[in-house]
């Protein structure tokens, strides 16, 4: 089997990145440190070949045809332990940590599970930085600032853990086959642990109906009087919308209203 005989499988989200300029820019955008690299979905190995040049890589690929191809393409790197290929579904392999040493995730992710993978990487204590290609719309959600229309629970989760920004915007022409949407590479540099589940539960309730007021959304699960007191204490108007509240204020709000949930009811989604 060689590269040219491989037909991209839609079910695995296979859009291979062919643009050498973008591949080089991804490597340039990598944080400079001694961490290992984890690549999810090495595919035909186009990004992998750049990554193994600079660091040792643990790669996770679900497609057995591609695993075989990678094993023969990178025979030498595998023999010298610069590359280790794990063949199988990365989500199945992922317990609390994906590998047992500090790593940076660098990947052109399969878009159908990209958000799930990023949330798992954010929660993984061994993962220190995340540099990934995803659908542009998803990158914008993770990187949005309070006040922007797309600011949502993913933005608050990302900002609670570190700094997130879009590094490269990538058009469909950079891939084969070409996706129908624009893509982007974004970087999250982690500086804290992922917030607890009940904070994220509050965010889901807060952003459930993004056009409604924050007060209306939260009062479905939290005591209204305590909410009003908390809003007043933080100087938030009762008409403020969920995307207008900063990450810092979401944490303050959570500290003030958490008790009003614990004693009464669980957040409803």
| Selected range binding ligand SAM among 88-96, 151-159, 215-223, 237-245, rule: CB under 6 A | 88-96
Q: Element (H or E) spanning 261, and its range?
A: helix 247-262
Cα end-to-end span (Å), the chain: 48
Q: Is 183 in the site for ligand SAM (CB under 6 A)?
A: no
The count of other CB atoms within 10 Å of the CB of residue 141 is: 21
- For ligand SAM, the closer of residues 93 and 238 by Cβ is 93
| Minimal CB distance residue for ligand SAM | 41
| Selected range binding ligand SAM among 13-21, 95-103, 144-152, 194-202, rule: CB under 6 A | 13-21
Q: Is 20 in the site for ligand SAM (CB under 6 A)?
A: no
Which DSSP string corresponds to 4-71? GG----GGGT--EE--HHHHHHHHHTS--SS-EEEEE--TTSHHHHHHHHHS-EEEEE--HHHHHHHH
- For ligand SAM, the closer of residues 175 and 254 by Cβ is 175
- For ligand SAM, the closer of residues 55 and 216 by Cβ is 55
Q: Is 242 in the site for ligand SAM (CB under 6 A)?
A: no
- From 30, 40, 52, 261, residue interacting with ligand SAM (rule: CB under 6 A): 40
Rounded to a whole number of angstroms, the minimum distance from the CB of residue 115 to ligand SAM is 13
Q: Is 73 in the site for ligand SAM (CB under 6 A)?
A: no
- Cα 181 to its chain centre, rounded Å, is 18
- From 30, 61, 73, 183, residue interacting with ligand SAM (rule: CB under 6 A): 61
Closest CA to 53 of 31, 37, 72: 37
Q: Where are the beta strands (DSSP E) in the chain?
A: 16-17, 36-40, 57-61, 83-87, 103-108, 127-135, 162-170, 175-176, 183-190
- For ligand SAM, the closer of residues 84 and 216 by Cβ is 84
- For ligand SAM, the closer of residues 39 and 226 by Cβ is 39
Which 3 state secondary structure label does DSSP give 251?
helix
Q: Is 200 in the site for ligand SAM (CB under 6 A)?
A: no
Rounded to a whole number of angstroms, the minimum distance from the CB of residue 88 to ligand SAM is 7
Find the binding residues for ligand SAM in span 111-170 (CB under 6 A).
113
Rounded to a whole number of angstroms, the minimum distance from the CB of residue 41 to ligand SAM is 2
Q: Is 42 in the site for ligand SAM (CB under 6 A)?
A: yes
CA–CA dist 93, 87 (Å, integer)? 10
The count of other CB atoms within 10 Å of the CB of residue 76 is: 10
CA–CA dist 86, 88 (Å, integer)? 6
Q: Which residues bind ligand SAM (CB under 6 A)?
A: 12-17, 40-44, 46-47, 60-63, 66, 89-91, 108, 110, 113
């Amino acid at each position: 089997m060689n590269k040219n005989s491989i037909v991209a499988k839609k079910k695995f989200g296979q859009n291979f990145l062919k643009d050498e300029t973008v591949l080089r820019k991804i490597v340039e955008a990598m944080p400079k440190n001694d961490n290992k690299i984890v690549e999810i979905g090495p595919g035909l190995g186009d990004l992998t070949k750049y990554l193994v040049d600079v660091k040792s890589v643990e790669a996770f690929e679900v497609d057995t045809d591609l695993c075989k191809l990678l094993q023969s393409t990178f025979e030498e790197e595998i023999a010298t332990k610069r590359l280790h290929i794990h063949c199988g579904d990365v989500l199945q392999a992922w317990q609390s940590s994906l590998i047992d040493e500090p790593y940076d995730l660098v990947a052109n992710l399969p878009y159908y599970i990209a958000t799930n993978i990023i949330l798992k990487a954010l929660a993984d204590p061994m993962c220190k930085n995340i540099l990934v290609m995803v659908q542009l719309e998803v990158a914008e959600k993770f990187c949005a600032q309070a006040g922007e229309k797309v600011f949502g629970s993913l933005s608050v989760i990302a900002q609670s853990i570190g700094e997130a920004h879009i590094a490269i915007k990538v058009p469909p022409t950079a891939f084969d086959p070409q996706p129908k949407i624009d893509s982007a590479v974004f970087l999250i540099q982690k500086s804290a642990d992922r917030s607890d589940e009940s904070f994220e539960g509050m965010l889901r309730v807060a952003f459930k109906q993004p056009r409604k007021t924050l007060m209306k959304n939260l009062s479905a699960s939290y005591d209204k009087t305590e909410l009003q007191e908390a809003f007043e204490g933080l100087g938030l108007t009762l008409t403020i919308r969920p995307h207008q509240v900063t990450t810092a204020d979401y944490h303050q709000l959570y500290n003030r209203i958490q008790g009003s949930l614990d004693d009464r009811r669980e957040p409803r989604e």
